[in-house]
Amino acid sequence: MSDPVTRLATPGVQALRPYAPGKPLSELEREYGIVDAVKLASNENPLGPSTEALEAIRTGLGEVARYPDGNGFELKAALAARLQVPAEWITLGNGSNDVLEMVARAFLSPQHSAVFSAHAFAVYPIVTQAIGASSRVAPAHDGSRGPKFGHDLEAMLAAVADDTRVVFIANPNNPTGTWVGRAELRDFLERVGDGTVVVVDEAYFEYVDEPDYPDCVRWVAEFPNLLVTRTFSKAHGLAALRVGYGVSQPPLADLLNRVRQPFNVNSLAQAAAVAALADEAHLRDSVRLNRDGMRQLEAGLRALRLDFIPSVGNFVSVDVGRDAGEVYQALLREGVIVRPVDNYGLPGHLRISIGLPAENERLLQALGKVLAA
Q: Are 273 and 243 within 8 A, CB to CB?
A: yes
**What percent of the chain has a predicted confidence (pLDDT) above 90?**
89
- Is the pLDDT at 295 greater than 50? The verdict is yes
Q: Tally the domains of the chain.
A: 2
- pLDDT for residue 107: 97
- Is the pLDDT at 337 greater than 70? The verdict is yes
Same domain, 265 and 200: yes
**What is the domain range of residue 368?**
6-48+281-372
Q: Are 107 and 225 within 8 A, CB to CB?
A: no
- Is the pLDDT at 24 greater than 80? The verdict is no
Contacts of 256 (CB under 8 A, 6+ apart): 91, 99, 102, 103, 106, 227, 246, 248
Same domain, 235 and 266: yes
Same domain, 32 and 145: no
Give dist(CA 233, CA 289) in Å, integer.
16
Same domain, 247 and 200: yes
- pLDDT for residue 31: 77
Contacts of 93 (CB under 8 A, 6+ apart): 99, 102, 229, 243, 244, 245, 246, 260, 264, 265
Same domain, 178 and 299: no
Same domain, 139 and 181: yes
CATH of the domain at 57: 3.40.640.10
- pLDDT for residue 35: 78
- pLDDT for residue 33: 76
- pLDDT for residue 34: 77
Contacts of 281 (CB under 8 A, 6+ apart): none
- Is the pLDDT at 190 greater than 90? The verdict is yes
Across 242-261, average pLDDT: 97
Give dist(CA 326, CA 332) in Å, integer.
10
Q: What backbone torsions phi and psi does residue 47 show, to the nearest 5 degrees?
A: -80, -20
Q: Name the average pLDDT for the chain.
A: 94
Across 283-288, average pLDDT: 98
Across 113-118, average pLDDT: 98
Q: What backbone torsions phi and psi does residue 258 show, to the nearest 5 degrees?
A: -70, -30
- pLDDT for residue 98: 97
- Is the pLDDT at 294 greater than 60? The verdict is yes
Same domain, 264 and 292: no
Across 222-242, average pLDDT: 97
Give the pairing of strands 164-170 and 113-117: parallel
pLDDT band with cut points at 50, 70 and 90 for residue 273: very high
Same domain, 81 and 37: no
Q: Are 255 and 199 within 8 A, CB to CB?
A: no
Q: Is the peptide bond before 262 cis (omega within 30 degrees of 0)?
A: no
- Is the pLDDT at 16 greater than 70? The verdict is no
Same domain, 22 and 60: no
Domain closes at, from 278, 308, 323? 278
Q: What is the pLDDT of residues 61-93, one digit of tens each?
A: 999 999 999 999 999 999 999 999 999 999 999
Please name which of 334, 344, 325 lies closest in space to residue 28, comparing C-alpha atoms.
334
Give the pairing of strands 339-340 and 244-247: unpaired
Domain closes at, from 249, 278, 307? 278
Domain closes at, from 215, 246, 278? 278
Across 258-270, average pLDDT: 96
Give dist(CA 84, CA 361) in Å, integer.
40
Strand runs labelled E in the chain = 38-39, 90-93, 113-117, 134-138, 164-170, 197-201, 226-231, 244-247, 307-309, 315-319, 336-337, 339-340, 349-353
pLDDT band with cut points at 50, 70 and 90 for residue 51: very high
Residue 1 counted as domain residue? no
Same domain, 151 and 43: no
CATH of the domain at 351: 3.90.1150.10
In this prediction the pTM is 0.94
Q: Are 309 and 176 within 8 A, CB to CB?
A: yes
- pLDDT for residue 26: 76
Across 335-359, average pLDDT: 96
Q: Are 184 and 214 within 8 A, CB to CB?
A: no
Same domain, 255 and 161: yes
Give the pairing of strands 134-138 and 315-319: unpaired
Q: Give per-residue burial for 101-133: e unless 16+ CB within 10 Å, then b.
A: bbbbbbbbeeebbbbbbbbbbbbbbbbbbbbbb
Length of the chain: 373
The radius of gyration of the chain's CA atoms, rounded to the nearest angstrom, is: 21
Q: In angstroms, how far apart are the furthest CA atoms of the chain?
A: 58
- Is the pLDDT at 1 greater than 60? The verdict is no
- pLDDT for residue 30: 76
Same domain, 324 and 193: no
Contacts of 116 (CB under 8 A, 6+ apart): 124, 125, 135, 136, 137, 138, 156, 167, 168, 169
